[in-house]
Amino acid sequence: MTLIDKLLGKKKPVLKARCPITKEPIETGYGYMLTTAQVVASKKYWDLVMTEPETISYTLSHFKNQVDGTHMRSLIFEKYSSVDKPWIISDSCISLFEVDKAMAREYAKKWWESNGNFIPGETGPATDHLDPDNYKTWRDYAILEAGRNRVPI
């Protein structure tokens, strides 16, 4: 901080993070950093997303063979699979993902140390980093199957 900044009371903005899944704040230096491709490639994540209070009605409609429910689930998948920034995930959510947790923790530490500027390789929309067949497999699961075992059909 320069002398002028001290005199004028200017402070560096404090880097903050919230888990995009739970919205809980993540303390400085903690959390895990994942790419969108890693997030998309998780059955547990999609089962959770498609059965949240905001989305459960679409899931129920989908499993009752109502086109509107399936369409909304498709839009939800597109929204999350197209995120172009890395995800900072809380300790309480990392178990949803089958990833190298040590590496994800290291990436988060680098992100904090760089004041939010560190970006791991393969960051960007899932279509950019999953091969087309793998992407289609996860898309089909998220839209057609996610949450089936969590709702009465």
Mean predicted lDDT score pLDDT of the chain: 93
Contact criterion met (CB below 8 Å) for 84 and 125 = yes
Q: Span 64-87, mean pLDDT?
A: 97
Share of the chain above pLDDT 90, in %: 88
Could you give the CA distance from residue 59 to residue 63 in angstroms, rounded to a whole number?
6
Could you give the CA distance from residue 59 to residue 77 in angstroms, rounded to a whole number?
12
